[in-house]
């Protein structure tokens, strides 16, 4: 606890209400963190810094140079190349020496992939840089010009103003290739799984259009026999059953096909009820169904390869021994989450992960009015998706998270809806990931019960995991 020494301060000289002054005696953790962040910003962007703001482009960059008081000094355009960046740095250093600036700070938006080239150059040659969020530039444009004025130099000037106000982020390129590889593999895995889901939905739509009662034959369309039969549907419409069976086994020699299902499929294709369904599309959909199955199989093979790569990199991080102790979650989920957030050591507290995922609560309060408080959605959507998946799996299979889900949806004051509760479980999962990686410890079910009705913070000995599982 930090207190203000009232003997060294004259209360009458302070232009504020007495109650406000009394409230300054106790500095909260949030206030102290804000002070530390402000101190870090002052060290990174000092008052004697020359700000070089860059509006990145595909062919050329627009540059605006100013001081911390937003006084314009120079503007120019350089090519998006190694020679262009070299010329820009030489001119910036010359202006820095002529005007007596002590530091040189580059600022830019993380535009597409162009910022990787620029920041890699700056890191290689020892220049300091910061990133400005694209939303900040958009809001600054509206608040400054009161209209949607947009040009290259104007955007560079807005970036310089935001840097002078120290409204920047500390995002940097990964310091090790391990985290860059894990990040790329995690994004590729999510893309492939989403494409696979789309192909499954497409295949189901085609089959339901032709045979609405296909579940009487195949309970799972992605099974080996189902995929093999539907990929050869064109042959089933033209030849006898014996020829169709021989063609099927010759095409899929290394697969274990079920003969009863093959016979039922042939009966469904050749003698389906024309009064229900749309058999007129049978020949038309043979090729789309075959191509969909081929893409599905290709995506499955790519996902398996990507999983192997993810797990290999995940073991190298050193956190697998701790995160794998979380029950009912596949290691690939932890690997994808680590790939999206990077090294958890660089985050000051666990709530940084929920804010980075855009799952922090958005305040909606004015006076006595208290409105709904949804999540902000200002963060990484892929991390938010994976946290939701982890929360759903834990709610379904883990008794501790099932108890927390029940408490959130059945509490007296403002019970959460189903999706809201799953989002809360996803936030809990991210906080557990941060804690396990920071403290290098294993998952403890007893600690995970804190905050539930079975075991709360005021009476931690009330209840146990065995009672929840019972």
Place of tokens 């064109």: 234
Q: Quote the CA–CA distance of 276 and 281 in Å, as a whole number.
A: 13
Q: Which fold has domain 45-164?
A: Nucleotidyltransferase; domain 5 (3.30.420)
Q: Which residues make Cβ contacts (< 8 Å) with residue 395, sequence separation at least 6?
A: 401, 402, 405, 421, 422, 425
Helix intervals (H) in 100-222: 114-124, 134-145, 152-164, 177-210
Answer for the pair 178, 309: CB distance below 8 angstroms, yes or no.
no
DSSP reduced 3-state for 307: helix
Q: Which two tokens stand for residue 400?
A: 């501790």
**What CA–CA distance (Å, rounded) separates 6 from 18?**
12
Per-residue pLDDT of the chain (470 residues; tens, 9 = 90+): 344 444 444 444 444 555 554 555 567 777 788 888 888 888 889 999 999 999 999 999 999 999 999 999 999 999 999 999 999 999 999 999 999 999 999 999 988 888 899 999 999 999 999 999 888 888 888 888 887 778 889 999 999 999 999 999 888 787 788 999 999 999 999 999 999 999 999 999 999 998 888 898 999 999 999 999 999 999 888 889 999 998 888 888 777 889 999 999 998 888 876 667 777 788 899 999 999 999 999 999 999 999 999 999 999 999 999 999 999 999 999 999 999 999 998 888 899 999 999 998 888 888 888 888 889 988 899 999 999 999 999 999 999 999 999 999 999 888 999 999 999 999 999 999 999 999 999 999 888 888 777 655 444 444 444 444 44
The CA distance from 266 to 241, in Å, is 7
pLDDT at 281: 86
Q: Which helix (H) or strand (E) holds 78?
A: strand 72-79
Q: Which of 431, 188, 230 lies closest to 326 in space, CA to CA?
A: 431
Element (H, E) at 282: none
**SS3 string of 35-86?**
HHHHHHHHHHCCCCEEEEEEECCCCEEEEEEECCCCCEEEEEEEECCHHHHH
Tell me: the pLDDT tens digits for 242-267?
Answer: 999 988 888 887 778 899 999 999 98
- DSSP states of 405-429 as a string? HHHHHH-SSSPPPHHHHHHHHHHHH
Q: How far apart are the first and last CA of the chain?
A: 43
Q: What is the DSSP letter of 369?
A: E
Tokens of 432: 């557990």
Residues 8-61 have pLDDT tens digits of 444 444 445 555 545 555 677 777 888 888 888 888 899 999 999 999 999 999
Give the domain ranges of the chain: 6-42, 45-164, 181-305, 318-363+374-469
Identify the CA nearest to 295 among candidates 186, 202, 188, 184: 202
- Tell the burial category of 249 from Cβ atoms under 10 Å away from its Cβ (0-12, 13-18, 19+): middle
Q: What phi and psi values does residue 61 have, to the nearest 5 degrees?
A: -110, 145
Q: What are phi and psi for residue 356, nearest 5 degrees?
A: -65, -30
Q: In whole angstroms, what is the distance from residue 153 CA to residue 130 CA?
A: 18
DSSP state of 361: B
Q: Which residue has the tokens 């020359």?
A: 50
Q: How far apart are CA 254 and CA 192, in angstroms?
A: 26
């Amino acid at each position: 606890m930090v207190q203000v020494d009232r003997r060294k301060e004259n209360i009458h000289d302070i232009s504020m209400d007495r109650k406000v002054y009394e409230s300054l005696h106790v500095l909260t953790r949030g206030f102290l963190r804000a002070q530390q962040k402000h101190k870090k910003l002052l060290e990174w962007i000092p008052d004697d810094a020359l700000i070089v703001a860059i509006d990145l482009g595909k062919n050329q960059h627009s540059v605006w140079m100013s001081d911390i008081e937003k006084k314009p000094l120079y503007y120019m355009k350089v090519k998006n190349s190694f020679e262009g960046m070299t010329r820009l740095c030489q001119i910036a250093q010359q202006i820095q020496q002529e005007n007596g600036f002590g530091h040189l700070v580059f600022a830019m938006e993380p535009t597409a992939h162009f910022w990787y080239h620029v920041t890699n150059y700056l890191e290689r040659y020892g220049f300091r840089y910061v990133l400005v969020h694209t939303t900040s530039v958009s809001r600054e444009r509206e608040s400054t010009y009161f209209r949607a004025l947009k040009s290259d130099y104007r955007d560079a000037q807005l970036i310089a103003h935001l840097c002078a106000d120290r409204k920047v982020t500390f995002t940097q390129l990964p310091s090790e290739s391990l985290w860059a590889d894990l990040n790329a593999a995690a994004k590729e895995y999510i893309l492939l799984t989403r494409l696979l889901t789309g192909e499954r939905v497409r295949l189901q739509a085609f089959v339901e259009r032709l045979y609405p009662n296909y579940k009487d034959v195949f309970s799972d369309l992605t099974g080996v026999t189902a995929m093999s039969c539907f990929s050869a549907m064109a042959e089933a419409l033209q030849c006898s059953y014996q020829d169709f069976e021989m063609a099927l086994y010759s095409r899929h020699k290394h697969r274990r096909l079920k003969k009863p299902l093959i016979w039922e499929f042939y009966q469904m294709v050749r003698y389906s009820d024309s009064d229900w369904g749309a058999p007129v599309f049978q020949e038309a959909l043979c090729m789309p169904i075959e191509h969909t199955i081929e893409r599905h199989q290709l995506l499955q093979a790519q996902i398996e390869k990507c999983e192997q790569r993810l797990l290999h990199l995940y073991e190298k991080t050193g956190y697998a021994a701790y995160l794998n102790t979380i029950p009912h979650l596949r290691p690939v989920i932890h690997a994808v989450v680590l790939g999206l957030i990077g090294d958890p050591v660089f985050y000051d507290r666990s709530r940084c992960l929920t804010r980075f995922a855009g799952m922090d609560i958005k305040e909606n309060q004015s006076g006595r009015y208290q409105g709904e408080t949804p999540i902000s959605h200002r963060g990484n959507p892929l991390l938010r998706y994976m946290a939701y998946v982890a929360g759903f799996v834990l709610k379904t299979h883990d008794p501790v998270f099932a108890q927390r889900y029940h408490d959130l949806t059945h509490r007296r004051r403002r019970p959460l809806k189903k999706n809201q509760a799953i989002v809360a479980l996803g936030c809990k999962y991210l906080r557990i990931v941060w804690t396990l990686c920071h403290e290098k410890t294993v998952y403890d079910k007893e600690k995970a019960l804190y905050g539930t009705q079975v075991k709360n913070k005021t009476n931690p000995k009330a209840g146990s995991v065995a009672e929840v599982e019972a």
